[in-house]
Amino acid sequence: LFYYYMKVGELYEVRHTWLLPHSTSDFWSSCGPVLYVGEDVFVNQDGKKIVNYVVLAGGERRTLDQSFLKFLEPISCSNRKAGV
């Protein structure tokens, strides 16, 4: 799965926003680059380990679950140099 390759401090863009729920698609369509901060792990009362993923997007800290990561694609170095 893609999320194993995410690197802390790297920039990503949100893709395929038309597949997102309407309530969140406007934010993700216009948030610009997303900075991956890292994992946020906790253990629930049943002892199950829960892993979420933290990003900075649109000036806000957002916590994502694994299902959202398929919408994030890395912004390549060549795109950053071109100002994309």
pTM above 0.85, yes or no: no
Mean pLDDT calculated for residue range 20-33:
89
Mean pLDDT calculated for residue range 51-76:
93
Q: Is the pLDDT of residue 1 over 50?
A: no
| pLDDT given at position 77 | 58
Asked if 70 and 2 count as a contact pair (C-beta separation under 8 A), the reply is: yes
pLDDT by residue (tens digit) across 43-56? Answer: 999 999 999 999 99
| pLDDT given at position 47 | 96
Q: Which residues pair with 62 in a beta bridge?
A: 55
Mean pLDDT of all residues in the chain? 86
Please tell me the distance from the alpha carbon of residue 13 to that of residue 71, in angstroms, as a whole number.
Answer: 8
Q: Which residues contact 15 (CB under 8 A, 6 or more apart)?
A: 71, 72, 73
